[in-house]
Structure 1
């Protein structure tokens, strides 16, 4: 079996290398066909294969081929945008581009093209900006001030033509690659991006991935700019939209089929679903606003956790990470955790025979965070009565599920007495608060 796997791995990577080595000896038309085949091979690569191919040498080689006119810029963009797309969708870590001479070449071209007032080529500028964002991890503030308005201007195209939708999808996917720690002035993105989202809500002109990417870019801005939070939570109705999109994606992907058995279309939808969960986790870590629609979203995530538990542990764990972020977020209303099914879903997982350490720790920390908040609440009259009732519901739920017994049984698996002492202390705190 290992022999077969090794042969399959070798054939995929070797075939890509063969095609790439042939590119400089082809005319433009033949080169384009070979790039199309190479892109299809890149789609089939697993993470290890993908990362082993796209190191600094291959990007330096492309730069040299462009310089020597052995590869047209159009064909180079065709290859590079697909590599960037695969990198993002596979969540692969490749650092070869940002260390390469090709990155330096593209950055210089972006600046020169943006400063060319007379003969600015919008198409090449968009392509260069997309490559820069898709393939890098670190972004220069000057380049962001060029790329963000350029790509948002293109993303605002409202045509429902399939070809335009695919281009806009790549455009917004590239913008979503700008991490939360990179500052972008609000005037460069907020109004334009809100218009893109609003228009889609009315006319459904974006693909599912494009729409998710638009939200991803906006949520990433919270870390540096809290001013957009109200627009996201209330005006654009994140909870309602995320719930609708998750429910749609769940219907399109068969979560009863074992992981690894999905087809190409389902893989894209699965990746989009995972990206939504990651974005929501990021949002709830930073969110300082409350919206009643959050309860429906919690219920949706709780349901997703249950239906993914048998075959899709990665989805299940993302749901758990969201639950932990919810419990740590002091803004969110406590009774929403019961009404949204978060407590029920978390404790159901803890009672499973195959629960892992991360899940059990997550259950315990959810209980601890919530009970700390209940302990520290100072309310009078009806509100205090309601809180006491809620405390009792939580305690009854923990007792009903045998949470303490479950933890004691799990300690046996830990082995390390230091972990056992630490988590026994944490659990004891949890139940004192209740």
Structure 2
């Protein structure tokens, strides 16, 4: 049997958890506070070793046997969900548990009530369910989304109110692009939340980023939202400002966190922002001058990650990959962006075969595919010719053509069947 206790954090959490059923209500709340502090220190491996189906079923049994109140269990589960989403650690434990099925039933039952509806209970159930699960019945989303948006519309500026807003929006950010939601359920409210924040600066950075992520996830099924996102709510302008502010808070000289060391909340928000941008450019069909400014800001961030902060560096490369393959991005913008140069530098001077290296190979293949295909527009084709010349000159200057062909063989053997893409083959056929 796989041992749950593998690290000091996991051991401490499990010890506190095992004591819960023997405590009175006040003692339980104290221990939940201690468990919350331990959770904030956990890394992904620790999180997944602790938050198992067995643990969630144990909590459910404690509730059924009156050894723990539903109120206290929801307090604990909300903090679990918060860490789950913020740190992007995702354990399947809750999804496979009896508690998940019971919570789903309770949400439907509470929603059916009229005069006796317990709104606070419904909010807590929705937050826990969405932040700890990874799939949702559409009928349940039609209840949870409006419920959590109502919480997020609270304009009070107290620390407690803003924490509640943050947790509600963070949970909503879990509703990814593959879930269709009727715009009547969300658009007016999420637009008002974002506009109010832009005017009054009333949301935390995590809450604001989560609001954008929820809205941009809807773009996958509703392309006409792009006009609202870009031209009415000014997402790119806001993303540039948020990125530059977050960059100012980061200690870029600090060595990357060792396994088990606590990462800062700002770093988690930064990673999430870059992920949201990549998601946006996956579906984006517009392009304007602000987009070029965003690339410039992203490049500044990338250069700051040169020695440390590998997680942010990788997210930068994923963003560059999405930008390079976005058909709305002009070839002129790509040429001026610096993406070509930093991609080649990573491939030829770092040479470590890892997730960043894989991403660089893909970017290189995408660029080669671009310069291979003429547009029929003389000005654009002339720009492509210049880009092609610069690319080939760089390869010749570095003497890396044979090395790249060696990487291509590796790519063909190990990566093509995973990614289903053969853009590098376009380059070698064209060379």
TM-score calculated relative to the size of structure 1: 0.89
Taking the aligned partners of 1:414 and 1:337, their CA distance within structure 2 comes to 23
Q: What are structure 2's unaligned runs of at least 5 residues?
A: 417-421
Give 1:325's aligned residue. 322
Are the equivalent residues in 1 in contact too, given 2:51–2:93 (CA < 8 A)? yes
Work out whether 1:347 is the aligned partner of 2:344. yes
Give 2:428's aligned residue. 428
Give 1:395's aligned residue. 389
Taking the aligned partners of 1:112 and 1:28, their CA distance within structure 2 comes to 26
Which digits, 9 at most, give the CA deviation of each residue in 1:70-92, with x for residues without a partner? 11122111110111111112222
Matches within 5 A, 1:194-273: 194-260=191-257, 267-273=264-270
Taking the aligned partners of 2:396 and 2:194, their CA distance within structure 1 comes to 45
TM-score calculated relative to the size of structure 2: 0.90
- In the TM superposition, residue 390 of structure 1 has moved relative to its aligned partner by 5.1
- In the TM superposition, residue 376 of structure 1 has moved relative to its aligned partner by 2.8
Are the equivalent residues in 1 in contact too, given 2:42–2:262 (CA < 8 A)? no
Are the equivalent residues in 2 in contact too, given 1:302–1:345 (CA < 8 A)? no
Taking the aligned partners of 1:245 and 1:417, their CA distance within structure 2 comes to 36
Taking the aligned partners of 1:33 and 1:407, their CA distance within structure 2 comes to 63
Q: 1:294 to 1:322 in 2, by over 3 A?
A: same
Q: What are structure 1's unaligned runs of at least 5 residues?
A: 1-5
- In the TM superposition, residue 370 of structure 1 has moved relative to its aligned partner by 2.7
Are the equivalent residues in 2 in contact too, given 1:324–1:365 (CA < 8 A)? no
Taking the aligned partners of 1:415 and 1:365, their CA distance within structure 2 comes to 14
Taking the aligned partners of 1:342 and 1:10, their CA distance within structure 2 comes to 40
**Aligned to 2:291, which of 279, 282, 294?**
294
Taking the aligned partners of 1:318 and 1:98, their CA distance within structure 2 comes to 27
**Aligned to 1:176, which of 173, 177, 190?**
173
Q: 1:28 to 1:403 in 2, by over 3 A?
A: farther
Q: Secondary structure at the match of 2:350?
A: coil
Work out whether 1:55 is the aligned partner of 2:49. no
Q: Secondary structure at the match of 1:293?
A: helix
Q: 1:313 to 1:414 in 2, by over 3 A?
A: farther
Give 1:307's aligned residue. 304
Are the equivalent residues in 1 in contact too, given 2:365–2:423 (CA < 8 A)? no
Q: 1:223 to 1:417 in 2, by over 3 A?
A: closer
Give 2:419's aligned residue. none
Aligned length: 419
**Aligned to 2:379, which of 385, 391, 398?**
385
Are the equivalent residues in 2 in contact too, given 1:299–1:342 (CA < 8 A)? no
Q: 1:360 to 1:408 in 2, by over 3 A?
A: farther
- In the TM superposition, residue 105 of structure 1 has moved relative to its aligned partner by 1.6
Q: Secondary structure at the match of 1:226?
A: coil
- In the TM superposition, residue 328 of structure 1 has moved relative to its aligned partner by 1.6
**Aligned to 2:37, which of 37, 40, 48?**
40
How big is the alpha-carbon RMSD for the aligned residues of Structure 1 and Structure 2?
2.6
Taking the aligned partners of 1:299 and 1:200, their CA distance within structure 2 comes to 25
- In the TM superposition, residue 225 of structure 1 has moved relative to its aligned partner by 2.0
**Aligned to 1:190, which of 164, 174, 187?**
187
- In the TM superposition, residue 418 of structure 1 has moved relative to its aligned partner by 5.6
Taking the aligned partners of 1:321 and 1:21, their CA distance within structure 2 comes to 42
Taking the aligned partners of 2:47 and 2:62, their CA distance within structure 1 comes to 21
Q: Secondary structure at the match of 1:110?
A: helix
Q: 1:232 to 1:262 in 2, by over 3 A?
A: farther
Give 1:361's aligned residue. 361
- In the TM superposition, residue 149 of structure 1 has moved relative to its aligned partner by 0.4
Which digits, 9 at most, give the CA deviation of each residue in 1:158-191, with x for residues without a partner? 1121111111111000000012111111110111
- In the TM superposition, residue 57 of structure 1 has moved relative to its aligned partner by 1.2
Q: 1:430 to 1:298 in 2, by over 3 A?
A: farther
Which digits, 9 at most, give the CA deviation of each residue in 1:40-75, with x for residues without a partner? 112222211211111111111111111222111221
Taking the aligned partners of 1:265 and 1:417, their CA distance within structure 2 comes to 35
Give 1:3's aligned residue. none
Q: Secondary structure at the match of 1:117?
A: coil
- In the TM superposition, residue 211 of structure 1 has moved relative to its aligned partner by 0.5
Taking the aligned partners of 1:348 and 1:277, their CA distance within structure 2 comes to 21
Give 2:90's aligned residue. 93
Q: 1:182 to 1:389 in 2, by over 3 A?
A: closer
Give 1:11's aligned residue. 8
Higher deviation after alignment, 312-321 or 128-137: 312-321
Which digits, 9 at most, give the CA deviation of each residue in 1:333-388, with x for residues without a partner? 2212233333343334344234544144134223213314xx33122xxxx23641
Q: Secondary structure at the match of 1:388?
A: helix
Taking the aligned partners of 1:388 and 1:326, their CA distance within structure 2 comes to 21
Q: 1:359 to 1:135 in 2, by over 3 A?
A: closer
Give 1:20's aligned residue. 17
